[in-house]
């Protein structure tokens, strides 16, 4: 028997509409959370039909299309991404025991003990999953007898681990949702209710949400909602309106979400600036953030995963250079296990698009335990990091659906830059004239990105030329070393081409051995204090017959003549260079992947929101 850990999307519906159509649509929008198998359960007057399919949601849609059995206006659905436990129909959700049907996101840690007990009591298991113990447990309590809701409550208190669950039973028109350490929200529509792992799933039908907390249970009966804890004590949670709309979560004429999101960056950054900058006064502030006295902060930590970690690397450069406070950077999965030395004089900044990345959440909790002030930079309202950190600043990128992160990254850099100005001012390091000047620089960024996007065809041609290469080396220095890392990550993730990134100065300490006429070297180097040094690295590559693709703001230098290709980006100040230089790298990766015909928005083996370790 295999232990199973899953990241996935769950969704549920109760209302007057056609549940199967609504749920399949919602599930497609949750596919970024997982796409190796999917399933649906539809309730109709004392009957429940279940379908499960290996593969994408589209396979499930075809399976139930035009099947009258799947008519009804109450149901649950699930899309799965397995990290342990093979993707297969029998492991796909929903799971069922007798009359009880469950979809689940999370990990039940004590499932082996529970399964053992339930088996001894005569229950028969049909899958390898941890999830299947949940319907069995509920069903065993119902046989005692116990009412459906009480049986659920009882079962939930016996589960160890994390869960977001949607539960229905064959007999009654009732849907129950509950959560502990896995994301789950309620969409409040017009005479209809939804449960979902994430808001984009149902944004086409509502933008009003209740963000459930750990230990919350929601009961939907007769199209009414009651909220309670696992002890059946009534609880109250506000209905919050999000500014995201359904259209924002659609492709809007683009071939892929990723390219749409790359092209949305000027708007995303403008939205991230709105309301935070007062240029005339030379002030930066955040409606949602009241910083404590930061004069006692001796060390800042920035911790995240993947692309968000690259934003932290940039953050370190710009914070240290301007605030003169040491900044330590860590990958969340490393930080959480290495007993970091921090205390009340530390500020821990957690950067996360989803706000649900398990390692980053664990890092935040570790920091809190050690007495640090925790501040999250998130894109998703109501997400765990947004709720649990001591402070939060939102990136206003809008929903990011493409698995490869793009607009989240550039808005994260924007927020870190604004935070730098805000803190600089609070600490008395930056006066309002300095802040005014720095505000005027970031205000120009959306227009400059637009200029890069207007010339996207040049990058597309470059992609056509290099699409058959098997390996790439990316190099950069200072704030553009993280840009090189990000460019290589984008290429790897969506085109499956091997790419490595190095700090340019490190080349001669090893990677230079790789260089020959088959290795394209992507050099990210605007004219700044290290430009001449990087030019020397370019010479080193050229003497070894390497092929150089240069991304620079130097329109005149003779280096452009020497390299195989050069792409020009607009000039900006050092702190903001990566927001511009990363854009052609995103496009480069996108166009190569598009030419190669890979599944750009849902690359193999990846999930957008990694809610397990
Ligand atoms: C890469 C990518 C991932 C995420 C990482 C963290 O394109 O999207 O590397 O950046 O999984 O996710 P968040 O930012 O949601 O914590």
Mean of all residue pLDDT scores within the chain: 93
Answer yes or no: do 27 and 88 share one domain: yes
Asked if the structure places residue 569 within a domain, the reply is yes
Q: With a cut of 90, say whether residue 191 has pLDDT above it.
A: yes
Asked if the structure places residue 602 within a domain, the reply is no
DSSP H helix total and E strand total for the chain: 19, 26
pLDDT score at 434: 97
Answer yes or no: do 245 and 268 share one domain: no
Q: Which of these, 47, 83, 77, 74, lies nearest to 63 by C-alpha position? A: 77
Answer yes or no: do 393 and 368 share one domain: yes
pLDDT score at 111: 93
Q: Dihedral of CA 546/512/530/532: which sign?
A: negative
Domain boundary pick from 250, 272, 296: 250
Active-site residue 369, yes or no?
no
Answer yes or no: do 156 and 196 share one domain: yes
Give the pairing of strands 391-394 and 373-378.
parallel
Q: With a cut of 50, say whether residue 4 has pLDDT above it.
A: no
Tell me how far apart the alpha carbons of residues 361 and 355 are, in angstroms, rounded to a whole number: 8
Residue 216 tokens read as 């919350």
- Bridge partner residues of 346 (DSSP): 299
pLDDT score at 2: 38
Q: Which residues line ligand 1 (CB under 6 A)?
A: 305-308, 352-354, 357, 360, 404-405, 489, 493, 609-610
Interaxial angle between packed helices 407-426 and 577-596, expressed in degrees from 0 to 180 and rounded to the nearest 10: 170
Model confidence pLDDT, tens digit, residues 475-524 = 999 999 999 999 999 999 999 999 999 999 998 898 888 889 999 999 99
Answer yes or no: do 134 and 238 share one domain: yes
Range of 174's domain? Answer: 9-250
Asked if the structure places residue 143 within a domain, the reply is yes
Answer yes or no: do 48 and 78 share one domain: yes
Domain boundary pick from 250, 285, 303: 250
pLDDT score at 364: 97
Tell me how far apart the alpha carbons of residues 330 and 341 are, in angstroms, rounded to a whole number: 12
Alpha helices in 127-256 (DSSP H): 133-142, 148-158
Model confidence pLDDT, tens digit, residues 256-295 = 999 999 999 999 999 999 999 999 999 999 999 999 999 9
Residue 493 tokens read as 């993730």
How far does the centroid of ligand 1 lie from the alpha carbon of residue 18, in Å?
34
Answer yes or no: do 361 and 501 share one domain: no
Asked if the structure places residue 131 within a domain, the reply is yes
Q: With a cut of 80, say whether residue 32 has pLDDT above it.
A: no
Answer yes or no: do 244 and 273 share one domain: no
Asked if the structure places residue 120 within a domain, the reply is yes
Mean pLDDT of 41-59: 93
Domain count, the chain: 3
DSSP, collapsed to helix, strand or coil, labels residue 363 as helix
pLDDT band for position 90 (cuts 50, 70, 90): confident
Q: With a cut of 90, say whether residue 38 has pLDDT above it.
A: yes
Cβ–Cβ contacts within 10 Å for residue 295, how many? Answer: 8
Asked if the structure places residue 603 within a domain, the reply is no
Given the residues 28, 53, 490, 608, select the one marked as catalytic.
608
Strands (E), 20-126: 37-44, 47-54, 74-82, 95-97, 100-108
Active-site residue 608, yes or no?
yes
- Residue owning the nearest CA to atom 3 of ligand 1: 306
Would you say 40 and 63 are in contact if contact means Cβ atoms under 8 Å apart? Answer: no
- Residue owning the nearest CA to atom 10 of ligand 1: 307
Q: With a cut of 80, say whether residue 3 has pLDDT above it.
A: no
pLDDT score at 1: 35
- Bigger pLDDT: 593 or 601? 593
Listed in sequence order, the residues at least 6 apart from 600 whose beta carbon sits closer than 8 Å to its beta carbon are 256, 258, 259, 402, 404, 494, 590, 593, 594
Q: With a cut of 80, say whether residue 374 has pLDDT above it.
A: yes
Answer yes or no: do 330 and 433 share one domain: yes
Model confidence pLDDT, tens digit, residues 413-428 = 999 999 999 999 999 9
pLDDT score at 242: 87
Mean pLDDT of 185-201: 94
How far does the centroid of ligand 1 lie from the alpha carbon of residue 603, in Å?
13
Q: Which of these, 520, 567, 585, 523, lies nearest to 547 by C-alpha position? A: 520
pLDDT band for position 250 (cuts 50, 70, 90): confident
Model confidence pLDDT, tens digit, residues 513-529 = 888 999 999 999 999 99
User: What atom in ligand 1 is closest to the CA of residue 305?
Assistant: 6
Asked if the structure places residue 611 within a domain, the reply is no
Q: With a cut of 70, say whether residue 174 has pLDDT above it.
A: yes
- Bridge partner residues of 107 (DSSP): 162
Answer yes or no: do 318 and 200 share one domain: no
Q: With a cut of 70, say whether residue 19 has pLDDT above it.
A: yes
How far does the centroid of ligand 1 lie from the alpha carbon of residue 381, in Å?
17
Mean pLDDT of 202-226: 94
Q: Dihedral of CA 403/495/359/393: which sign?
A: negative
* Placement of tokens 């290996």 in the chain: 54
Q: With a cut of 60, say whether residue 83 has pLDDT above it.
A: no
Q: With a cut of 80, say whether residue 49 has pLDDT above it.
A: yes
pTM of the model: 0.83
Q: Dihedral of CA 23/28/33/36: which sign?
A: positive
Q: How far apart are the first and last CA of the chain?
A: 20
Answer yes or no: do 421 and 483 share one domain: no
Count of alpha carbons within 13 angstroms of residue 582, beta-carbon side: 33
Identify the CATH number of the domain in which residue 498 sits: 3.40.50.10490
Identify the CATH number of the domain in which residue 166 sits: 3.60.20.10
Answer yes or no: do 421 and 294 share one domain: yes
Asked if the structure places residue 327 within a domain, the reply is yes
Q: With a cut of 70, say whether residue 253 has pLDDT above it.
A: yes
How far does the centroid of ligand 1 lie from the alpha carbon of residue 588, in Å?
19
Domain boundary pick from 387, 411, 443: 443
């Amino acid at each position: 028997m295999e232990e199973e850990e899953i990241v996935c999307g769950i969704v549920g519906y109760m209302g007057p509409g056609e549940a199967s159509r609504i749920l399949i649509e919602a599930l497609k929008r949750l596919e970024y959370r997982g796409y190796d198998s999917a399933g649906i359960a539809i309730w109709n007057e004392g009957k429940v039909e279940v379908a499960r399919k290996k593969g994408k949601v589209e396979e499930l849609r075809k399976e139930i299309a035009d099947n009258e059995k799947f008519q009804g206006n109450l149901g649950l659905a699930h899309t799965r991404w397995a990290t342990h436990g093979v993707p297969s129909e029998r492991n796909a959700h929903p799971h069922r025991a007798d009359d009880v049907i469950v979809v689940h996101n999370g990990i039940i840690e004590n499932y082996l003990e529970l399964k053992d007990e339930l088996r001894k009591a005569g229950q028969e298991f049909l899958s390898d999953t941890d999830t299947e113990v949940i319907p069995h447990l509920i069903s065993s309590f119902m046989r005692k007898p116990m009412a459906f809701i009480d049986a659920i409550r009882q079962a939930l208190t016996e589960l160890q681990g994390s869960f977001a669950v949607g539960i229905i039973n064959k007999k009654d028109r009732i849907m129950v949702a509950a959560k502990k350490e896995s994301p789950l929200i309620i969409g409040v529509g017009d005479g209809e209710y939804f449960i979902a792992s994430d808001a984009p799933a149902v944004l086409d039908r509502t933008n009003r949400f209740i963000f459930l907390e750990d230990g919350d249970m929601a009961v939907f009966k007769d199209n009414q909602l009651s909220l309670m804890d696992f002890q059946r004590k009534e609880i109250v949670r506000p209905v919050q309106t999000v500014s995201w709309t359904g259209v924002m979560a659609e492709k809007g004429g683009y071939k892929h979400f990723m390219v749409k999101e790359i092209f949305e960056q000027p708007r995303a950054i403008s939205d991230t600036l709105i309301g935070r900058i007062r240029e005339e006064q030379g002030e930066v502030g955040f409606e949602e953030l009241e910083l404590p006295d930061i004069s006692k902060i001796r060390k800042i930590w920035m911790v995240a995963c993947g692309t968000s970690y690259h934003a932290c690397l940039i953050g370190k450069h710009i914070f240290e250079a301007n605030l003169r406070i040491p900044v330590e950077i860590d990958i969340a999965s490393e930080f959480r296990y290495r007993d970091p030395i921090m205390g009340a004089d530390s500020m821990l900044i957690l950067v996360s698009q989803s706000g649900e990345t398990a390692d980053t959440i664990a890092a935040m909790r570790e920091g809190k335990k050690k007495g640090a002030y925790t501040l999250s930079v998130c894109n998703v309202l109501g997400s765990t990091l947004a709720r649990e950190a001591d402070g939060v600043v939102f990136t206003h990128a809008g929903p990011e659906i493409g698995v490869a992160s793009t607009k989240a990254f550039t808005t994260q850099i924007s927020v870190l830059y604004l935070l730098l100005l805000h803190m600089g001012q609070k600490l008395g390091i930056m006066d309002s004239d300095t802040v005014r000047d720095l505000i005027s620089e970031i205000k120009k960024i959306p227009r400059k990105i637009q200029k890069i996007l207007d010339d996207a065809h040049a990058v597309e041609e470059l992609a056509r030329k290099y699409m058959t290469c098997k390996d790439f080396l990316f190099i950069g220095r200072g704030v553009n070393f993280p840009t090189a890392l990000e460019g290589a990550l984008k290429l790897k993730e969506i085109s499956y081409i091997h790419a490595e990134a190095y700090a340019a100065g490190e080349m001669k300490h090893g990677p230079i051995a790789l260089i020959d006429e088959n290795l394209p070297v992507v050099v990210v180097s605007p004219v700044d204090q290290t430009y001449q040094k990087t030019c020397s690295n370019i010479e080193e590559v050229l003497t070894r017959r390497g092929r150089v693709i240069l991304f620079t703001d130097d329109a005149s230098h003779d280096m452009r003549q020497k390299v195989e290709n050069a792409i020009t980006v607009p000039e900006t100040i050092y702190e903001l260079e990566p927001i511009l230089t990363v854009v052609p790298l995103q496009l480069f990766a996108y166009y190569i992947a598009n030419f190669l015909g890979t599944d750009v928005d849902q690359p193999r083996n990846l999930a957008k929101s990694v809610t397990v370790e």
